[in-house]
Amino acid sequence: MAVTAAPSFGRNLLLRALQPADRALIAPYAEPVEFVRGDVVFGSGDPVSHVTFPCDHTVVTLAITMLDGRMAETATVGWEGAVGGVVSQGYLPAFSRAVVQIGGPALRVEAGRLQAAKQASRTLRNLFTRYSDCLIAQLLQSVACNALHPIEQRAAKWLLTLHDRLSTDVLPITQDVLAEMLGVRRTYLSGVLRGLHDRGMIAVARGRITIRDRAALERAACECHDRVRRHFEDVLGAVYRDDGTLVAVDLAAAGAAGSAAQGGSASREKAA
């Protein structure tokens, strides 16, 4: 990790969604950094001193490592969010390991500074409360997915999750990394990817996997990808392009959806 020239707040969707007054509370303390693949943002048991906001196409995964060295991914975070102290407010030992899967720029803010800003602003607290809810939803869905769904569906889900966070069909991910994230042997994963390739959904080459037919890949994936995506839309106001790319966070849209849902619930209760 290296300190770099400051990237714009607009290069992280969570920070882009901040109101100007809230942005002013954080901007003086935002430190730009540059990651390369394999960098560890924080390890299991490390005190989390900073909240890190991936920018552009930087992607970080939260993973759990077992005593025998095997590892499994529990959440994928790109420019839509942040890692480190998001739920715990920082300065507590991390339970998971945060590893950079796709390198690039990021901003990080000392956890104490961010906590003070949230205490000073209700709208800032609301934004991070909503994002924390979405991150927990992704973690919970991952638990169910890893326990109940076959590897082909899980692989398709993981590729879609990564594709959501990039503006390209070419995913710079190796089979070794994907196998590690899914907690399976590479030889087993190769057979799964070959099946997706033979059905025209992806193309596999050295160091990259290209999405050929996203619609078919969505049909091959389990329900988990769509459920998490819809939760991001409902709670955080996530906006997706037709090609699946996550391009904005709009709390106004989330608020409208929440109001509509509450109104519908109230109507049903009145009718009952």
What are 211-239's pLDDT values in tens digits?
999 999 999 999 999 999 999 999 999 99
CATH superfamily of 2-148: Jelly Rolls (2.60.120.10)
How far, in Å, are 101, 123, 159, 170 from residue 219 at the CA level?
25, 38, 13, 20
The predicted pLDDT at position 91 comes to: 75
The predicted pLDDT at position 97 comes to: 95
> Whole-model pTM?
0.89
The DSSP element (H or E) to which 213 belongs, if any, is: none
Q: Confidence class of residue 92 from pLDDT cuts 50, 70 and 90? A: confident
Q: For residue 267, what are its two tokens?
A: 């109507």
Cβ–Cβ under 8 Å, residues 224 and 141: yes
Query: What is the average pLDDT across 113-125?
Result: 95
Instruction: Look at residues 196, 98, 100, 101 and name the one whose alpha carbon lies nearest to residue 155.
Output: 196
The SS3 assignment for 157 reads helix
Q: For residue 126, what are its two tokens?
A: 């609301």
